[in-house]
Structure 1
Amino acid sequence: MDFGSADSWGAAIYFWIIPLVLGDAIFPLVPSEMVVITGGALSADGRANIFLVLLLAAVASWIGDMVVFQLFRRRLSHSLDRWRWGRRVHRGIREAIARAGRTTTYGTIIGARFIPGGRLATSAAAGIASVSVRGFSLCAGLGAILWACWLGGLGYFTGSATRLPFWASSLIGVALGLLVGAAVGIIATRRRGNRSRVDEPPA
């Protein structure tokens, strides 16, 4: 694969979206945002279908959130401790929850995915708090759609506005996304103490 060729990326972007967005549910360092933004930039260049990019990103995001949610809801997280890599993942999840706070509001389930590490922390915390499966599923689905539209639209906008090579438009989109995510994270941190809970009490 020629990484500098738009034709090569246009043919492969659909196969990159699903594993990277799924992996981001457990490993926040996986560059899922970059691949979705790149899909949007390629769509602006006529190398990909923006609707298919958004659909794949939203579905993969929802599935990843549900996997993490069910893992912690069913108290299966202890199985991670059987392996060294699992203990590292489990420790990272606990640290993400500690940073993001153990809020389980429906609004946070939808919006926390826009904050670095927030998607993992919120899904795990909602599972620990035994939020209803239906409520979490609906909120995670809505959040996944908004997240996919935001990132894919960001890539499409930068690609259309700059008319630069797709990789340059992708980098600009990633930079803008990081700035917005950082701003949202700062606002959420300052308002963390003032939040309403969901109907289900913690188990």
Structure 2
Amino acid sequence: MQMDFGNPDTWSTAIYFWIIPAVLGDAIFPPIPSEMVLITGGALSAEGRANLFLVGILSAAASWLGDVVVFQLFKRRLSHILDRWTWGRKIHHGIHEAIAKAGRSSTYGTIIGARFIPGGRLATSAAAGIADVSTPGFNLCAGLGGVLWATWLVGLGYFTGSATRLPFWASSLIGVAVGLVIGAVVGLIVTRRRGDRSPVDEPGEAPGTGN
């Protein structure tokens, strides 16, 4: 069966199946456009073509689960598993760079808030695992952060769709543009430290020798 991507009914059916893999994948590979998926879900909800509550719940749950996976991967010192594959080494190196750019703070406030800046979700989850943050504390903060993050993005899509009354795809693009601008501003304000030495060992290097 061929999908008609210009048909809103196609998107309204598929959006529920795209949210979980997109948000989970974004936890390890930030270039995955999970934000766009969530904003699109909100825009579809504004047209009555998706359930706003269900979109929000799936988004928050997938965000929490992805954060926990990354956190446990580094807390249990299993990050070396990534180095077995070329793509894994690239991801490991990307995590190293993300922590260096976003800073090494693993405070509870950072766990909640850093997800709103590019790469912040991955960096803080990995850094919290390395810093041996308590699992209950991380789970609680990741859950709260996931709810806030999902509410912001889905709500942005819903508000844009309701305010513009444009087709859902146009509302989604406007919402993404607004989100990128706000995210960039937040990133400039929050991300003060650049080039900090990352606590993540570079792939292929012995522990404690990575930069």
TM-score category, normalised to shorter length: over 0.9
What SS class does the counterpart of residue 30 from structure 1 fall into? coil
User: What's the CA shift for 1:189?
Assistant: 1.9
Q: In structure 2, how many angstroms separate the alpha carbons of the residues matched to 1:95 and 1:38? A: 29
Equivalent of 1:155, from 139, 154, 157? 157
1:19-65: CA deviation from partner (whole Å, max 9, x where unpaired): 00000000000000000000000000010000000000000000000
> Which residue does 2:92 correspond to in 1?
90
> Which residue does 1:197 correspond to in 2?
none
What TM-score do you get using the length of structure 1 for normalisation? 0.93
Are 2:101 and 2:191, in contact at CA under 8 Å, matched by a contact in 1?
Answer: no
Give ranges in structure 1 of 5+ residues lacking alignment: 194-203
Q: How does 1:114-153 map to 2 (within 5 A)?
A: 114-153=116-155
> Which residue does 2:69 correspond to in 1?
67
Instruction: Name whichever of 126-135 and 80-89 sits farther off.
Output: 80-89
Q: In structure 2, how many angstroms separate the alpha carbons of the residues matched to 1:43 and 1:49? A: 6
Task: Give the partner amino acid of 1:12.
Answer: A
Equivalent of 1:24, from 23, 26, 32? 26
Give ranges in structure 2 of 5+ residues lacking alignment: 195-211
Equivalent of 1:104, from 89, 103, 106? 106
> Which residue does 2:181 correspond to in 1?
179
1:129-167: CA deviation from partner (whole Å, max 9, x where unpaired): 000000000000000000000000000000000000000
User: What's the CA shift for 1:70?
Assistant: 0.1
> Which residue does 1:201 correspond to in 2?
none
Q: In structure 2, how many angstroms separate the alpha carbons of the residues matched to 1:31 and 1:78? A: 26
User: What's the CA shift for 1:119?
Assistant: 0.2
What TM-score do you get using the length of structure 2 for normalisation? 0.90
User: What's the CA shift for 1:4?
Assistant: 1.0
Task: Give the partner amino acid of 1:151.
Answer: L
User: What's the CA shift for 1:82?
Assistant: 1.1
User: What's the CA shift for 1:100?
Assistant: 0.6
> Which residue does 2:205 correspond to in 1?
none
Task: Give the partner amino acid of 1:81.
Answer: D
Task: Give the partner amino acid of 1:86.
Answer: G
Q: In structure 2, how many angstroms separate the alpha carbons of the residues matched to 1:48 and 1:97? A: 36
Count residues in correspondence.
Answer: 192
What SS class does the counterpart of residue 150 from structure 2 fall into? helix
Task: Give the partner amino acid of 2:137.
Answer: G
> Which residue does 1:34 correspond to in 2?
36
Deviating beyond 3 angstroms after TM superposition, the runs of 4 or more aligned structure 1 residues are none
> Which residue does 2:59 correspond to in 1?
57
| Identity rate, percent | 78
Q: In structure 2, how many angstroms separate the alpha carbons of the residues matched to 1:118 and 1:72? A: 16
